Amino acid sequence: MSAPIVTLVTSEELPNLDIDEQDLPDALRDRGLEPRIAVWNDPSVNWDEAGTVVIRSVRDYAKYRNEFLAWTASLPRVLNSAKTIKWNSDKHYLNALEACGLPTIPTTWLEPEQGLSKQQIHSRFPAFGDFVVKPAVASGGRGTGRYSSVDAQQRGEAVEHAMYELSRGRTVMVQRYLKEIDSQGETSLVYLNGLPSYQVEKEAMLHPRFRSQREDGVVEEVARASHATEETWRWGERIRKALHQHIKRINGKDELLLFNRVDIVRGDEDSPEEFYVVEVSLIDGSLYLSQSEAHLNMFADAIQMRTDW
276 SS3 class: strand
**Alpha helix stretches (DSSP H) within the chain:** 24-30, 65-74, 82-88, 93-99, 118-123, 152-167, 179-184, 230-251, 293-307
Picking from 52, 218, 232, the residue whose alpha carbon sits closest to that of residue 140 is: 218
d(CA 140, CA 190): 17
**CATH-assigned architecture of domain 107-176:** 2-Layer Sandwich (3.30)
d(CA 273, CA 189): 18
The answer to whether the beta carbons of residues 133 and 144 sit under 8 Å apart is: yes
The answer to whether the beta carbons of residues 158 and 131 sit under 8 Å apart is: yes
**CATH-assigned architecture of domain 97-105+179-209+219-305:** 2-Layer Sandwich (3.30)
pTM of the model: 0.88
d(CA 286, CA 225): 13
Residue 223 pLDDT? 56
Which CATH number fits the domain 5-88, given the four candidates 1.20.140, 3.30.70, 3.40.50, 1.10.287?
3.40.50
Residue 88 pLDDT? 95
Picking from 230, 291, 288, 235, the residue whose alpha carbon sits closest to that of residue 265 is: 235
The residue type of 219 is V
Domain boundaries, the chain: 5-88, 97-105+179-209+219-305, 107-176
Residue 138 pLDDT? 87
Digit-by-digit pLDDT tens for the chain (309 residues) are 689 999 999 999 999 999 999 999 999 999 999 999 999 999 999 999 999 999 999 999 999 999 999 999 999 999 999 999 999 999 999 999 999 999 998 899 999 999 999 999 999 999 988 999 999 998 777 788 999 999 999 999 999 999 999 999 999 999 988 877 777 778 999 999 999 999 998 766 554 444 444 444 455 555 566 677 788 888 989 999 999 999 998 888 899 999 999 999 887 666 677 889 999 999 999 999 999 999 999 999 999 999 965
Strands 107-110 and 130-135: unpaired
